[in-house]
Amino acid sequence: MSRTPIMAGNWKMNMDHLGAVSLVQDLGKALEDAGYDPARSEAVVIPPFTDIRSVQTLVEGDKLPLAWGAQDISAHEDGAYTGEVSGSMLAKLGCSYVVTGHSERREYHGETDELVNAKAKKIIEHGMTPIICCGEPLEVRKAGKHVEHTVGQITADLAGIDAADVAKLVIAYEPIWAIGTGETATADDAQEVCGAIRKAVADLYDEATAESVRIQYGGSVKAGNVVEIMSKPDVDGALVGGASLKAGDFAQIVTFYAK
């Protein structure tokens, strides 16, 4: 398989910039100790906005094998949008990735697929890579409509984005009932939906685009379950919340291939 797995730590609203500096220092050391090989998986940290400059300075200064990104972006270019952070600001801080469509933003901030789509376009316009999140709530899973729900989200989130850009982006399947709950989808559950997303991309675009897009699973990924999840053919990485806040745990997840 030509897709390089991508392991991204979404720190959510944790760690001030001092905590970020110490976590990234510890992570650099833990990756070195674990014999991390960047050719076998890509390691990304996604701290809060206030930490990004510190993370950038440290990673660049110490040449750590890490990319970094942001958890959100404004759909606007610039101007009178109090509290928002623009794509050009994030690009200037060297962000490679920006998350959009996380279920916590959909749920607590009313973000719609239309807005997720606008944000994905903004991320691409500024030369960064979107990590577009999707996933079903428990009621939808219980009703057996999880594939339809998730494919519907992704179809709307990708509207009007070119095949060449879709080929480079990252999609994260995060079933809401598995986020922060300790309840992980089985590897087969993850494969079912990640496979369906890849097929949807093939139907919307073409096979080459579908083969190139990277699809992560997210939801209670830990050092103890990452190997099984990563054994599935359509799972190309993990979007990790809680376990990304501990350097040793995240380093184990990033180096899953060595287990």
Closest distance to ligand 13P from the beta carbon of 232 (Å): 17
Cβ atoms 134, 171 nearer than 8 A? yes
Is the CB of 106 or the CB of 122 nearer to ligand 13P? 106
| Catalytic, out of 42, 104, 174, 192 | 174
CA 170 centroid distance within chain:
7
Closer residue to ligand 13P (CB): 28 or 219 = 219
Min dist CB 154 to ligand 13P, Å, is 16
Using DSSP, state whether 181 is helix, strand or coil. Answer: coil
Query: Nearer Cβ to ligand 13P, position 66 or 209?
Result: 66
Q: How far apart are CA 17 and CA 54, in angstroms?
A: 6
Q: Does the annotation mark 174 as catalytic?
A: yes
Neighbouring CB atoms inside 10 A of 84's CB total 14
Say which of 102, 126, 146, 149 is annotated catalytic: 102
Q: Shortest Cβ distance from residue 41 to ligand 13P (Å)?
A: 17
31 or 239: CB nearest ligand 13P:
239
Burial status of residue 25 (CB atoms within 10 A of its CB: 0-12, 13-18, 19 or more): middle
Binding site for ligand 13P (CB under 6 A): 10, 102, 174, 179-180, 218-221, 239-243
Q: Tell me, yes or no, if 77 is annotated catalytic.
A: no
Whether the Cβ atoms of residue 214 and residue 170 lie closer than 8 Å to each other: yes
Tell me how many degrees the CA angle 181-5-175 measures, rounded to the nearest 5. Answer: 25
Residue nearest to ligand 13P (CB): 241
Which residues carry out catalysis? 102, 174
